[in-house]
Amino acid sequence: MLRRKMGNIGFESSVLLFGGAKLGSVTQDEADRSIAFALEHGVNHIDTAASYGDSEVRLGKWMPEIRKDVFLATKTAHRGWKEAKEEIYRSLTRLRTDTIDLLQLHAVGTIEELDKCMSAGGALEAALEAKEEGLVRHIGITGHGHSAPAVHLEALRRFAFETVLTPFNYYLYGLPEYRQSFDALVEETKRREVPLRVIKAVAKGPWAVGQTRNHATWYEPFDDQRTIDACVHYALSHEGIHGFASAGDIQLFPKIAAAVEKFGTMDDAEARALLAAIPEYGSPFGAPTSIA
């Protein structure tokens, strides 16, 4: 499994993050098989969230055994200090650990959400307090939507976030405004040595109305191996991207891991040609509007 250094944090992380959303509504046995598979294939970075159903509980069973071997990240979607601090304590209990490597302010995709997090008595104050208490080691930010890269760039201007997790794939990067804001975010994260990780690398688009949903993801993912290979190649070959979080479906994870393991066997032109030829490709966030 390919690993890359996480900027100033220094951790040699697998480029594939084990996305904890996939464990939100599965049994412990199903979770155990998926976690064991990830570890056997060299994944050493786990990225979950308090809002991902039972994910933290499913992972918590494993922490006494593997905690020292993995980079453990979770998230809080609360915007106020009190609620966020309570959630941090809850995450520690559910994950059965004394310290979280990375706490991320979750789903910050608009300036309004950023303002709430960074206001007096906001979630950022709770994160900073938890860091001072030794409960978390690093503080990051995540977000969804077409404005996420621009919002995360503004977040870095306001505060020294230590990681960024933002959407990226072939379709999104093809949107001129999105490309411009994403490129600016890449330049800033490179300058600060902040690891930039991405989400939605294998997202095909929103589920169609009435479509049978055969995956647990809230968006429709690609599920054939060749297209997943191209999506993964496109993300990992993009300058400035340290890694990506796997899609929230345990059935897709082996295919995504396989694509990472064969990274480098597909060239850039081949990947772009394959992705460009998909007529139904779209944004998981729906039709784009003006980007902040």
97-139 pLDDT per residue, tens: 999 999 999 999 999 999 999 999 999 999 999 999 999 999 9
CA-to-CA distance for 277 and 267, rounded, in angstroms?
Answer: 16
Task: Give the pLDDT of residue 290.
Answer: 53
> What pLDDT sits at residue 287?
84
Tell me whether strands 136-142 and 163-167 are parallel, antiparallel or unpaired: parallel
Number of domains observed in the structure of the chain? 1
What φ, ψ does residue 204 adopt, rounded to 5°? -90, -35
Active-site positions?
52
Mean pLDDT of 187-192: 98
Is 290 part of a structural domain of the chain?
Answer: no
Give the range of the structural domain holding residue 191, as residue numbers without chain letter: 3-276
Residue 288's pLDDT band, with cuts at 50, 70 and 90, is confident
pLDDT above 60: residue 169: yes
CA distances from 250 to 51, 68, 118 (A): 17, 24, 34
pLDDT at 250: 96
- For strand 203-205 and strand 3-5, is the pairing parallel, antiparallel, or unpaired? unpaired
Residues of the chain with pLDDT > 70, as a percent, come to: 99
Is 286 among the domain residues? Answer: no
Q: Say if residue 291's pLDDT is above 80.
A: no
- Beta strand spans in the chain (E): 3-5, 12-14, 16-19, 45-47, 71-76, 100-105, 136-142, 163-167, 196-199, 203-205, 220-221, 241-245
Strand partners, 71: 45
Residue 83 has pLDDT above 60, yes or no: yes
For residue 282, being part of any structural domain is answered with: no
Per-residue CA distances from 180 to 149, 196, 211 (Å)? 9, 16, 33
Q: Express each pLDDT in 2-19 by its tens digit.
A: 999 999 999 999 999 999
In a domain, 283, yes or no: no
Burial of 76 (0-12, 13-18, 19+ CB in 10 A): buried
CATH code (residue 117): 3.20.20.100
Q: What percent of the chain has pLDDT over 90?
A: 98
- DSSP code of residue 13: E
pLDDT band at 227 (very low <50, low <70, confident <90, very high): very high
Pairing of strands 3-5, 220-221: unpaired
Indicate the pTM of the whole model.
0.96
Q: Are 77 and 50 in contact (CB under 8 A)?
A: yes
- 292: in domain: no
pLDDT score recorded for residue 3:
98
What pLDDT does residue 18 have?
98
Q: Is 131 a domain residue?
A: yes
- Across the chain, what does the average pLDDT equal? 97
